[in-house]
Amino acid sequence: MSLQLIPMDRETGEVLEFRPSMIKELDNSDLTAFLEAVKAADKMKKEAEKEVKKRLDEGQNFTRLSYGKQQFTREIVMDNVAKTALIRKYGLESVEPLSIAKLEKKYGEGILEDIEQFIIMKPKKAKIEWDK
């Protein structure tokens, strides 16, 4: 089955070559109808992506879709002794809830050596990628 969205003039039935610049030319009624159609298509896209992810999780294969490379976020998990050592070396701001990137920017790459043992990698949700 091959599905296509075809822009069509409701009055004449003429198939249109729709371009983004045409949005400015639409009257209020057509613009409302267009937005309604786009919202419906967006909802269908989200449902289709959810179904694709479910099937990929089940181990099914697609010809042009797969999960991308696993992404991770870095988080710091440290005890009070480690926090105290950081405060002595870098000051109180070093233990405020700052991201690792902000700490690295503020104190340089040397801080990574001090906090590396406390960094955990939390996996992000995998996103779907189209084959190139």
User: Quick check: 106 and 78 in contact, CB under 8 A?
Assistant: no
**Residue 132's pLDDT band (cuts 50, 70, 90):** low
Q: What is the CA radius of gyration of the chain?
A: 25
15 strand-pairing partners:
8
For residue 18 the two structure tokens come to 């729709």
If DSSP codes are grouped into helix, strand and coil, which group holds residue 78?
coil
What is the pTM for the complete model shown? 0.47
Q: For residue range 70-98, what is the model confidence (pLDDT) as tens digits?
A: 888 888 888 889 888 888 888 877 777 66
Q: Parallel, antiparallel, or unpaired: how do β-strands 128-130 and 119-123 relate?
A: unpaired
Q: What is the pLDDT of residue 101?
A: 86
d(C-alpha 12, C-alpha 47), whole Å = 32
The residue with greater pLDDT, 126 or 4, is 126
% the chain with pLDDT above 90: 8
124 DSSP 8-state letter: P
